[in-house]
Amino acid sequence: MGCAARGCFLPIDVVCHLVAETRHGKIENDFEEPAERGTKEIRKIDMLIQGRGETAVTMLAKEGNIKIVEANP
């Protein structure tokens, strides 16, 4: 897993509780259902990836966008 300012690359098989929020910006999330991607502006995400959330990944930004990328190994 690699994270950078306002972005994060998570492995395709990650199991976690993902929380991301931006006050002024939008969130792009590759773990969202393909039909839902880019259809609306999202400012907050609170979801379980792979149906479980024993590990938490939290990203917060006051300004700007957040991008969460599903990375293949």
Mean pLDDT, the chain cut into blocks of 10 residues (73 residues total): 69 93 91 76 92 87 91 81
What's the structural domain count of the chain?
Answer: 1
Residue 16 pLDDT:
94
Residue 2 pLDDT:
54
Residue 36 pLDDT:
72
First CA to last CA distance, the chain: 10
Domain containing 44 equals 2-71
Strand order in the sheet with 7-11: 2-4, 7-11, 66-71, 27-29
Residue 3 pLDDT:
54
